[in-house]
Amino acid sequence: MLSLSIGEVSAALRKGRLSATELCRRCLNRIRKTRHLNAYITVTEDLAMKQAQEAELRLTRGKPLGPLDGIPFSVKDNFCTENIETTCASHMLRGYFPPFSATVVQKLLDQGAVLVGKTNLDEFAMGSGSTDSVFGPVRNPWSYSVSYREQSREQDPDSDWVIAGGSSGGSAAAVASLSSFMALGSDTGGSTRNPGSLCGLVALKPTYGLLSRHGLIPLVNSMDVPGIMTRTVHDAATVLDVLQGRDEKDSTTVESAYSPSSLPEEFDVRDICVGVPKEYHAPGMSAETLAQWGRVVALFERAGARVKEVSLPHTQHSIVCYHVLCCCEVASNMARFDGLQYGHRSKVDSSTEALYATTRHEGFNSVVRSRILAGNYFLLKQNYDRYFVKAQQIRRLITEDFRRVFQSGVDVLLTPTTLSDAARYSDFIQEDNRTRSAQEDIFTQPVNVAGLPAVTVPTALSSRGLPISLQLIGQSFQDMKLLTVANWMEQQLDFPIIRFHDDTDQERECKLGS
Amino acid sequence: MAASSSGSSTLKRTLCTFIRYRSVRCVRQCNASIRTVCTSGSTSQLQPKIQSKGVSSQLRGVVGLEIHAQIHATSKLFACSRVAFCSPPNSSVAFLDASLPGTLPVLNRRCVEAAVITGLALNCTINRKSLFDRKHYFYADMPAGYQITQQRLPIAVNGSLIYSYFGGRKRNQVLSRCVRIKQIQLEQDSGKSLHDDQRSQTLIDLNRAGVGLMELVMEADMSCGDEAAAAVRELQLILQTLGTCQGNMSEGQLRVDANVSVHCPGEPLGVRTEVKNINSARYVARAIDYEIQRQKKVLENGGIIVNETRAFDSKSGTTIPMRDKEGLQDYRFMPEPNLPPLFVYEDEASVPAGVNPTQVVMIDRLKAELPELPGVRRARMVDQYKILPEHSFTLVNEDGLTEYFERVVRNTKAEPRKVIGWVMKELLGNLNQQSLKLAQSPVSPEALADLLNVLESGHISSSAAKVVFQEMWKAPEKAVEQLVKELDLGLVSDREKLLKICQKVVDTHPEQLNVPTTKSNLLTIGGLDLESHTKLKWKNTLQADPTLM
């Protein structure tokens, strides 16, 4: 039952085959059972049960609020949730209970969705492995899957596990481990798509401006978007429809009038032109990922879609450009954490300056601190033109690349999401956060620079038994069209449902549900 | 607030009182609420060369102003929290004002309109597109660690302000000057810090944090304290007329920083200092004049002027260096990524499709609503009513006085030039004496008009009218005619009666008869003695119809 899609479980709830409280209880049990994944920072058990009871009342009366009524979900712990601790996985915000909820969270709650917990992440969403959290790293649920265990030489899963990807690794692990039916992530350089890809999920990064950022604790304001993680493209479309639209509290949002509310019934793949950017043949890409890319390109071609190679010449500079802009905004956004109004406050108070310095030193990890330092350097008067302005110019060029390609008749771009399947934790931490972020974000991050929508769809399991995914990139505010193509692709691929090697009741549940 | 607990309940609790933290203050002597960029490039400026002591008399002051005007609006620049003075600490703080993470600024249209109106009144070019930037510095009453301002592209540029002041030897000459307005930018105000040095504590009140400010930058077109003070007063008056700022300097609604330097005319400008926190127009004049003299003296003694920030100490009337390093600070400006460019439109036709015209700022609409500005009004007063220019200043400076004056003029047959005398002397005299505002005047313009009509009709003398005015002041409920009757102030026009009175006076004061008899003497004689020799009151003697005397 827990591995069903939202569409399926919602139907079961409406038909009374399943009660919302029972569903919620099972998810909470599942959370307890998968605690070793470290997917959750906070489990909102009491609140969830209360919400589930309310949902049940509505469902039994035949008056659900919508397709998400009674559906358990989780939220990355960098979205504010009213009176629920919101930490950003940082010592700085431990014990911080925001007095308001993020708009996207509130919209889900208003639809009757049941919040089961807040999920783990890299501190302040800075990372690509969910390994740099003050609460410890997130483990990829696929580490415990039958497919992975069968090929692993290690007997003890605790000594051989793979990362969940990041920075929204907790959200991905929550959905992949079947304790949430959907999760909110945030995506600044790939933070939703990267873990979505490594955990075998559908992960959507909507167009910048389509979803409100109000209540999302920012990393890079000009690139951040709330991301949606689900098990199917259809579910992602359902959630997108609930979340999209202008929010008065976020001046960068726009009306979603021209974005349809659901996937079209009729879709002919032969009307579609798929672009394959040649620059995405990056060094370091695994042979298997390349093979999957080729396989899906062939799939489109065989089905009659037009496939053409395109060029995005400035994409190669995206990582450097992103690095500069990210550090600048980080330096600025993090300035508010001074320990005076909220959050951690150091006991050193010999002077106001000393209080600031020690509070910030104690509160932030070295990744955050180094980005702040770099950002402040780039913003210095004497450096501003050389770094910030240059980076903005390159950003414009990257955006222009995409625009040109889409103007040439291309509807969507097909690329890998990550270089390879998930790395072992022990391998991943051999390199520092900055190097890893630069490597891991290479395919995902130009999309953020340009503000475009993109979705990752799992295509197959690698020889290690881990998910490999591909990314589709769409035109601005064509999110539903993008999902329509992704939906078609998903249907052709038949990606397997996760099976846990030590889990007997999962099979039983599956039968029960279907 | 405790270091560890920061839950919303604690937060709300905290927000109803001061946010406090232990601190040992080491940097700041004066609490400059808003820091401004210090003089870029000023270090390369030349020190005026002083060859001999006599040259110092040729040195001239050069003054530019940066003025922060709090926008008169119900809510703050980027949040819905109320703008409220004198409310309990931290009682008007939105989540954004406390910089809670995840909050985003939402621009208040009223503030934009206020800036546009002000820009129009100051002959500025209104930028159809302007941008917001972040200016970074750490200070406890600036919780985000940056201020949102308009550094790159402000809302209004290239304006001018014409102001006048009394100069010349006797200070009775109206001198007119013009200062260029470089720009008007929208920005956030900061909160307030209260330092308790005894307990090594700092208390923070965020009620003011996020209030909308217009920073007006005036070019260094002024040369002395009087000019600067007059410019400030004129600006204050304009803002009050527009209703875009209440302009009360002592409450910090209008704050002036002055950039002061000296040079010999024709030579490059000297190194400037910035005098901060001047909170009255009078102090503007004093601070600037002191600073000019100080700089002259320093140069005269062979010293050099240091580019620094100074504060005006009103007690000693001097400026003193502020012990902070603001001049060296790099504000690390960056575009504000959460606010799209601010567009204002010329008229409805220029609003692009898809944009709701009721939701945008339109210049032609605001232009149409502009009130009569002080300068125009003064000129009209002089032109229309033939009054003296200095009277036009008084009329315009006092809130509502022009309207009062015009209402009297409308309701009386008396000449406006006569009316102005009454308004200036009797009305203002009484108001000033009792420290009342015009709105508190017991004598309404209509009542004054009635009095002047009675006077015009010849029924009472002008001195009697003044007596009546004083009585009206005491008993505003009584009509003019009633007072005239009650006081028996009507002119004595009965020839016989007058003769008797005069005879009596003359009889009792034979010594006075040596004085040549003229009309005025007769009156004087009567005035001196009538009270004691007749049953008539002293004042009554003056009520004799002068033509009969």
Instruction: Tell me which of A5, A10, A74, A167 is the catalytic residue.
Output: A167
A288 C-beta neighbours (distance < 10 Å), count:
17
Residue B315 touches partner A, C-beta closer than 8 Å: no
Q: Residue A85's closest chain B neighbor by CA?
A: B7
For residue B305, the model assigns a pLDDT of 93
SS3 A135: coil
Residue with more model confidence, A131 or B173:
A131
A376: enclosing H helix or E strand: helix A366-379
Q: Which of A74, A76, A118, A168 is catalytic?
A: A76
From A438's Cα to the closest Cα of chain B, the distance in A is 23
Residue B172 banded pLDDT, cuts 50, 70, 90: confident
Interface test with A, best of B195, B338, B356 (most A CBs within 10 A): B338
Choose among B1, B11, B105: nearest Cβ to A99: B11
How many angstroms separate the CA atoms of A108 and A239, rounded? 8
β-partners of residue B259 are B64, B274
pLDDT, tens digit, 9 for 90 and up, residues A316-343: 999 999 999 999 999 999 999 998 888 8
- Pairwise CB contact (< 8 Å): B334 & A329: yes
B14 has a chain A CB within 8 A of its CB: yes
In Å, the largest CA–CA distance within chain A is 72
Chain A nearest-CA distance from B106, in A, is 6
- Please tell me which of the candidates B27, B95, B138 has its beta carbon nearest to residue A356: B138
Summarised one tens digit per residue, pLDDT across range A146-181 is 999 988 877 788 888 999 999 999 999 999 999 999
Rounded CA-CA distance A373/A377 in Å is 6
Take residue B428 and report the two structure tokens written for it. Answer: 């203002």
Residue B323 is predicted with a pLDDT of: 67
Decide: residue B455, CB within 10 A, 0-12 exposed, 13-18 middle, 19+ buried. Answer: buried
Helix spans in A34-89 (H): 45-60
- The C-alpha atoms of residue A345 and residue A342 are separated, in whole angstroms, by 8
Nearest to B330 among A82, A215, A380 (CB): A380
Q: Is B164 a residue whose pLDDT tops 60?
A: yes
DSSP symbol at B426: I
Residue-level pLDDT at A262: 83
Residues from chain B contacting residue A101 (CB–CB below 8 Å): none
- How much is the pLDDT for B28? 35
Q: What is the pLDDT of residues B200-230, one digit of tens each?
A: 888 999 999 999 999 999 999 999 999 999 9
**pLDDT at residue A24 in the model:** 98
**Cα of A257 to nearest chain B Cα, Å:** 11
Mean pLDDT of the residues in chain B? 83
Q: How far apart are CA B244 and CA B254, in angstroms?
A: 11
How much is the average pLDDT of B27-50? 40
**What b/e readout covers A254-277, taking b as 16+ CB neighbours within 10 angstroms?**
bebeebbeebeeeeebeebbbbbb
Q: How confident is the model at residue B544 (pLDDT cuts 50, 70, 90)?
A: low
Contact, A363 vs A339, CB < 8 A? yes
Both tokens assigned to A197: 């890809």
Distance CA B136, CA B151 (A): 12
Portion of chain A with pLDDT greater than 90, in percent: 86
Q: Which residue has the tokens 């509160």?
A: A363
The region that residue B127 occupies, defined by phi over 0 for left and psi between -120 and 50 for alpha, beta otherwise, is beta
Which tens digits make up the pLDDT trace of A474-511?
A: 999 999 999 999 999 999 999 999 998 766 555 444 44
Residue A464 tokens read as 């290690």
Catalytic (active site) residue A167: yes
For B71-155, strand residue ranges (E) read 125-126, 129-130, 133-136, 146-149
- C-alpha distance from B213 to closest chain A C-alpha (Å): 20
Q: Do residues B134 and B105 lie in contact, with contact meaning Cβ atoms separated by under 8 Å?
A: no
Contact assignment for B102 to A217 by CB distance below 8 Å: yes
pLDDT at A158: 84
Q: Which of A191, A197, A462, A469 is catalytic?
A: A191
Note the pLDDT tens digit of each residue in B319-331. 999 866 555 689 9
The pLDDT value recorded for residue A318 is 94
Which residues of chain B lie closer than 8 angstroms to A362, CB-CB? none
pLDDT in tens, B439-482: 999 999 999 999 999 898 888 888 888 988 999 999 888 888 88
- Amino acid B34: pLDDT: 34
Q: Name the pLDDT band for B15 (thresholds 50, 70, 90).
A: very low
* pLDDT greater at residue B513 or residue A5: A5
pLDDT averaged over every residue in chain A: 94
**ipTM score here?**
0.95
CA distance A108 to chain B (A): 18
Cβ of B23 within 8 Å of Cβ of A351? The answer is yes
Q: Is the pLDDT of residue B483 over 90?
A: no
Residue numbers in B near A388 (CB within 8 A): 334
Q: Where are the alpha helices (DSSP H) in B4-157?
A: 8-15, 109-121
Cβ contact (<8 Å) for B8 and A99?
yes
Domains of chain A as residue ranges with CATH: 6-267+454-513 (3.90.1300.10)
Residue of A nearest to B93 (CA): A341
Nearest to residue A224, comparing CAs of A213, A215, A237? A213
Provide the 3-class DSSP secondary structure of residue B276.
strand
Span B380-408, average pLDDT: 92
Higher pLDDT, A165 or B521: A165
Res B384: pLDDT? 95
User: Band of the pLDDT at B17, cuts 50, 70, 90?
Assistant: low
C-alpha B356/C-alpha B345 separation (Å) is 12
Where does the pLDDT of residue B530 fall: very low under 50, low under 70, confident under 90, or very high at 90 and above?
A: very low
Chain A CB contacts of B27 below 8 Å: 352-353
Task: Enter the tokens of residue A50.
Answer: 């209360």
Distance from CA of B326 to the nearest CA of A (A): 14
HSE (side-chain half, CA atoms, 13 Å) at A47: 19
State which residue of chain B sits closest to A91, comparing Cα positions.
B4
Q: Is A76 a catalytic residue?
A: yes
Q: Scan residues 468-507 of B and list those with Cβ closer than 8 Å to A.
A: none
Neighbours of A232 (CB within 10 A): 21
| Bond from prior residue into A167 cis (ω within 30 degrees of 0) | yes
For residues A328 and B548, give the distance between their C-alpha atoms in angstroms, rounded to a whole number: 92
Whole-angstrom distance, CA of residue A392 vs CA of residue A413: 24
| Bridging pattern class, strands B342-345 and B361-362 | parallel
Per-residue pLDDT at B250 exceeds 50: yes
What does the pLDDT look like over B71-119, one tens digit per residue? Answer: 999 999 999 999 987 889 999 999 999 999 999 999 999 999 999 999 9
Average of per-residue pLDDT across B339-354 = 93
Instruction: With a cut of 60, say whether residue B52 has pLDDT above it.
Output: no
Hey, CA dihedral for A92, A95, A100, A104, is it positive or negative?
positive
Nearest to A251 among B22, B103, B340 (CB): B340
The Cα–Cα gap between A127 and A138 comes to 12
Q: Tokens 């020690």 — which residue? A: A358
Sheet holding A454-461, edge to edge: A40-43, A114-119, A72-76, A182-187, A225-230, A202-205, A454-461, A467-473, A412-416, A273-277, A306-310
pLDDT for res A153? 78
Indicate yes or no: CB of A215 within 8 angstroms of CB of B99: no
Please compute the mean of the pLDDT values over residues A200-217 and round it to a whole number.
98
Nearest CA distance, A124 vs chain B (angstrom): 11
Chain-centre distance of CA A203, in angstroms? Answer: 6
pLDDT at B3 over 70: no
Residue B50 — pLDDT band, cuts 50, 70, 90? low
Q: What's the pLDDT band for A436 if we cut at 50, 70, 90? A: confident
In this structure, what are the phi and psi dihedrals at residue B374, rounded to the nearest 5 degrees? -50, -45
Is residue B269 classed exposed, middle or buried when 0-12, 13-18 and 19+ CB atoms within 10 A define those classes?
Answer: middle
What integer pLDDT is reported at residue B494 of this predicted model? 65
B99 in contact with chain A, both atoms CB, cutoff 8 A: yes
The DSSP result for A464-480, as a single string, is: TS-EEEEEEE--TT-HH
Q: B134 near B159, Cβ under 8 Å? A: no
Chain A residues in contact with B151 (beta carbon < 8 A): none
A128/A437 Cα distance (integer angstroms): 5
Cβ contact B106–A96 (<8 Å): no
- Which token pair is A93? 């915000």
What are the Cα distances from residue A80, in Å, to A97, A226, B100?
Answer: 8, 12, 10
Q: Dmax over Cα atoms in chain B, in whole Å?
A: 99
Instruction: Give the range among A249-253, A260-264, B32-36, B69-73 with minimum mean pLDDT.
Output: B32-36
- Stretch among A435-444, B223-232, B420-429, B539-548 having the lowest mean pLDDT: B539-548
- A-chain CB neighbours of B106 within 8 Å are 248-249, 251
The CA-CA-CA angle for residues B406, B412, B414, to 5°, reads 100
B1/A341 CB distance under 8 A:
yes
Q: In this complex, is the C-beta atom of B341 within 8 Å of any C-beta atom belonging to chain A?
A: no
Q: Which amino acid is at B179?
A: V
Residue A10 annotated to the active site: no
CA distance B30 to B324: 9
Asked whether B89 and B18 are in contact (CB, 8 A), the reply is: yes
What CA dihedral angle connects B284, B288, B294 and B296, to 10 degrees?
-170
Residues in chain A: 514
pLDDT confidence of residue B5: 35
**Which distant-in-sequence residues (6+ apart) come within 8 Å of B244 by Cβ?**
B69, B71, B72, B114, B115, B117, B118, B214
**Chain A residue numbers touching B202 (CB-CB < 8 A):** 352
| Predicted confidence (pLDDT) at residue B347 exceeds the cutoff of 70 | yes
- A250/B104 touch (CB, cutoff 8 Å), yes or no: yes
Residue B32 pLDDT greater than 50, yes or no: no
Confidence of residue B48 (pLDDT cuts 50, 70, 90): low
CB B169, CB B373: distance < 8 Å: no
Sorting pLDDT into bands at 50, 70 and 90, what band is B26? very low
pTM (predicted TM-score): 0.88
How is residue A324 written in tokens? Answer: 């500069």
